[in-house]
Amino acid sequence: MIEFRDVTKQYPDGTVAVDGLDLTVEDGKITVFVGPSGCGKTTSLRMINRMIDPTGGSILLDGKDIRESDPPLLRRGIGYVIQHAGLFPHRTVLDNVATVPLLTGAGKRAARARAAELLELVGLPQEVARRYPPQLSGGQQQRVGVARALAADPPVLLMDEPFSAVDPVVRDDLQQQLLRLQSELDKTIVFVTHDIDEAIKIGDRVAVFRVGGRLAQYDTPSALLAK
Ligand code: ADP
Ligand code: ADP
């Protein structure tokens, strides 16, 4: 469970990106942060893994203030997926994913086996594993990004507009895949998008942000649609 308690973030230039955010992200659910550009979604997301620290209030992960956690250690339990997958272009797809288990002490063979398993889980055919990221389509790269984020088996997954740079058909496929993955893996996912349709499609809970970094609504998609 991730609890935002009266969280505020003011950047050094005076911009208030997030203003008094109170919100609880439930375990095992997909919580979507949605709203127009500049309303504080990414800032809120990045405060969860301490890429950004709040200037007011606190964030609790399973009851513990994350300020008491060492950022690298905290991030071991929190996967992170961004719009452009951020893969290493000079390593094969398999090695991009295998790097993570290697870093956490797995042997080379075990790491590669794990990577192959994850690539299959995100729906990539085996031959893609031997290619290099620049040889992949945008949608395929995003799948690799998801596989890599899952490689450390983190209980929490942060996703920042992960599907926004791909065309609508591929996007739909990626969304379906994420829903299937979620039903198998039971992660706590926080997903940022500016697209309300996407939010309603994939969210168990939807947090609607408005300009000024305030929370306008926080509810299930069906409750939001009924309003
Ligand atoms: P969103 O993800 O909803 O587009 P952001 O969290 O990226 O919103 O940004 C929220 C507000 O904070 C915007 O006004 C943005 O311009 C501002 N902002 C983001 N990063 C910085 C920064 N490093 N310094 C100053 N202002 C920033
Ligand atoms: P699209 O918008 O078509 O889905 P992207 O925005 O993901 O594609 O990528 C744009 C271009 O940048 C593509 O040619 C892609 O191969 C390349 N590219 C994107 N990310 C990477 C990366 N991490 N390493 C190397 N090339 C990349």
pLDDT given at position 161: 93
Of the residues 16, 33, 42, 215, which should be mutated to test ligand 1's pocket, given the most ligand atoms within 8 Å of the CB? 42
- In the numeric block, which tokens belong to residue 83? 């719009």
pLDDT per residue as tens, the chain (227 positions): 999 999 999 999 999 999 999 999 999 999 999 999 999 999 999 999 999 999 999 999 999 999 999 999 999 899 999 988 789 999 999 999 999 888 888 899 999 999 999 999 999 998 999 999 999 998 899 999 999 999 888 999 999 999 988 888 889 999 999 999 898 889 999 999 999 999 999 999 999 999 999 999 999 999 998 97
Question: Which residues partner with 190 through β-bridges?
Answer: 31, 158
Ligand 2 site, residue 84, Cβ cutoff 6 A: yes
- The ipTM assigned to this model is 0.73
Structure tokens at 72: 């690298």
**Side-chain half-sphere CA neighbours of 53 within 13 A:** 8
Q: Give the ligand at the shortest distance from the Cα of 168.
A: 2
Prediction pTM value: 0.86
> CB of 173 within 8 A of CB of 180?
no
Q: Compute the distance from residue 48 Cα to the ligand 1 centre, in Å.
A: 16
In ligand 2, the atom with minimum distance to the C-alpha of 142 is 7
| Residue nearest ligand 2's atom 9 by CA | 138
Residue 34 near residue 199 (C-beta atoms within 8 A): yes
Model pLDDT, residue 91? 95
Any ligand 2 atom below 6 A from CB of 89: yes
How far does residue 161's CA lie from ligand 2's centre (Å)? Answer: 15
Atom of ligand 2 nearest to the CA of 170: 4
pLDDT of residue 148: 93
CB 28 within 8 A of CB 187: yes
Instruction: Report helix, strand or coil for 143.
Output: helix
The binding-site residues of ligand 1, defined as CB within 6 angstroms of any ligand atom, are 11, 13, 15, 17, 35, 37-43
- The pLDDT value recorded for residue 67 is 96
> What integer pLDDT is reported at residue 103 of this predicted model?
84
Token representation of residue 135: 């040889």
Alpha-carbon 146 to chain mean position: 9
Q: Which residue's CA is minimally distant from atom 12 of ligand 2?
A: 134
Confidence at residue 23, expressed as pLDDT on a 0 to 100 scale: 97
